[in-house]
Structure 1
Amino acid sequence: MGLLSSKNALVTGSTSGIGLAIARAFAAEGANVTINGLGDAAAIEAERAAIEADFGVQCRYSGANMMNGEDVTAMIEQAEAAFGTLDILVNNAGIQHVAPIEEFPDDKWEAIIRINLVAAFYAIKAALPGMKARKWGRIINTSSAHALVASPFKSAYVSAKHGVSGLTKTVALEAAEHGVTCNSIAPGYVWTPLVEKQIPDTMKARGMTEQQVKHDVLLAAQPTKEFVTVDEIAALAVFLCSDAAKQITGATLPVDGGWTAQ
């Protein structure tokens, strides 16, 4: 019996990277999972089928558009209908854009706020009543070190992630007497395919070696000089769903190699 046997989870932004690692970690502990995100349809189906084959659980896919509140609400309702309950919600979907604020494209600002913050609100709003009624639930928001500190040229992302921490605290207080916890995981730089793809361009732009880019650019803020791994984030998510973590709520938990300790 896994730690999460008989539980049903939904993870947004889970067709790759952090979200996929969390979905697979939940499935490894016996949870049925709904995954969501963008990508090649065949690749997504392969990931969905692999979760079922590897762990012997049920896995659904939702193509809900995180820009659209009605889509997000419907995704939650459909997941609950398909599995009978929705016990664990991970709001992980996110996008990024980097530009000075006076040049920041309006559409990028709107999209970042909607996908990183507003979608989490709609998902929680739809999922919380069932969790409260059953007296058990876990809500985990993937935040960022940028929920705690800022960096230049990331006004929308920093604003959204600070908002996620505020939303986390509020939901935690409202759900505190109903057996439901709400926490944020705040990673620093995580080694994902998205980060890996940025390295060649940065090498060229700065005239640096790959090692210099990793150490002096990407990991400049992380005292350990090591990337966080997706499996480390997923392990924390699993722990937050355990009974041992039932008194952890309203927290923003940094996993950032010491970045926000400075």
Structure 2
Amino acid sequence: MANGNLKGRTALVTGSVQGIGLAIALKLAEAGCRVAVHGLASAEDKARALAAVKAAGAPETRFFETDLRDPYAIDAMMEKVEQWGGPDILVNNAGIQQTAPIAKMPQVTWDAILSVNLSAAFHTMRRALPGMAERGYGRVINIASVHGLVASVNKAPYVASKFGLVGLSKVAALEYAAAGSRDSGGVTVNCICPGWTETELIRPQVEARAEEFGGDRDKGIASLLSEKQPSMRLSDPSEIGEAIIWLASPLAHNVTGISLPIDGGWTAQ
């Protein structure tokens, strides 16, 4: 059976200019993958992300500035990645969030969150999975959330999108479970469900909570974690990247259809 070496594989990580996505791209680069970086970014942020991924060890990098709300743009991106030789590893990480009660949630916000967080993953998977099956090896790893497993108030579109992503991943896992072999590595589809993680996405919630403590960020974070995350520790984005590396390994050929919480015990309660 093939070992855990990912050298020479081609990986696409959506939403990989910063945060969890960039941390994942860096870990894949360290493992020797060619990495397609994606995001809507300034020229400076684009250059910074590509340079970091290259410095981490990626033999080749490419950047895709694709609006994931547009299925036709996603098709064009996937066509270019396929021409590049992959993707062998697809990480759907891109996500957006806005909090408000259902009655005050704008329709345009609902549509945007569902498009980026859920529909975009469907469109990338629809294009990537057949090629993975032909090659006998493929990894789709969708970054869901604890909110794909449990709900919270004021997050209707986000929770709906992440529950949908978990369900979509299970269907795809079943459809491709028999593709490939133990020796080739097979084709697997899994979710990672992070809890509170040190990213830009949680900044508005941290800032709002910090205001209750006179602007003290540490106390704001502690207050947030005390409600949900028993470990009382934020995860670092690099820890999500490490989990990706194991799931992407051929050694994980029989791990498919799971939703792995990295949440300090949040969903164990």
Cα deviation, 1:178-203, whole Å, max 9, x if unaligned, reads 12100000000101234346534432
Q: Note the C-alpha offset of 1:92.
A: 0.5
Whichever residue aligns with residue 133 of structure 1, its letter is E
| Alignment-derived partner of residue 149 in structure 2 | 148
CA contact (8 A) 2:213 2:219 kept: no
Whichever residue aligns with residue 181 of structure 1, its letter is T
Cα deviation, 1:89-136, whole Å, max 9, x if unaligned, reads 000110001011011100000000000000000000011111011111
| Alignment-derived partner of residue 173 in structure 1 | 174
Q: What RMSD over aligned residues (CA atoms) do the two structures have, in Å? A: 1.7
CA contact (8 A) 1:187 1:254 kept: yes
Task: Give the alignment's TM-score, normalised by structure 1.
Answer: 0.95
Change (3 A) 1:205 1:108: farther
2:108 is the alignment partner of 1:114: no
Give runs of aligned pairs for residues 54-203 of structure 1, distance below 5 A. Answer: 54-82=56-84, 84-178=85-179, 179-196=186-203, 198-203=205-210
CA contact (8 A) 1:140 1:237 kept: yes
| Alignment-derived partner of residue 20 in structure 1 | 22
Q: Note the C-alpha offset of 1:85.
A: 2.4
Distance 2:223 2:211 in 1: 14
| Alignment-derived partner of residue 6 in structure 1 | 8
Matched-pair identity in %: 42
SS in 2 for 1:249: coil
Q: Note the C-alpha offset of 1:69.
A: 0.8
SS in 1 for 2:29: helix
Q: Could you tell me which runs of 5 or more consecutive residues in structure 2 were left unpaired when the two chains were aligned.
A: 180-185
| Alignment-derived partner of residue 234 in structure 2 | 227
Q: Note the C-alpha offset of 1:212.
A: 2.2
Q: Note the C-alpha offset of 1:211.
A: 2.6
SS in 1 for 2:230: coil
Distance 1:256 1:224 in 2: 8
Distance 2:54 2:39 in 1: 18
| Alignment-derived partner of residue 216 in structure 1 | 223
Distance 1:199 1:229 in 2: 15
Moved more, 210-219 or 68-77: 210-219
CA contact (8 A) 2:146 2:267 kept: yes
SS in 1 for 2:228: coil
Q: Note the C-alpha offset of 1:53.
A: 3.2
SS in 2 for 1:237: helix
Q: Note the C-alpha offset of 1:207.
A: 4.2
Cα deviation, 1:211-254, whole Å, max 9, x if unaligned, reads 32111124520000000110110000000011221111000110
Number of residue pairs the alignment of both structures matches: 261
Whichever residue aligns with residue 174 of structure 2, its letter is L
Distance 1:186 1:54 in 2: 25
Distance 2:90 2:226 in 1: 30
Distance 1:245 1:25 in 2: 17
Change (3 A) 1:187 1:181: same
Distance 1:200 1:176 in 2: 43
| Alignment-derived partner of residue 39 in structure 2 | 37
CA contact (8 A) 1:2 1:28 kept: no
SS in 2 for 1:22: helix
| Alignment-derived partner of residue 254 in structure 1 | 261
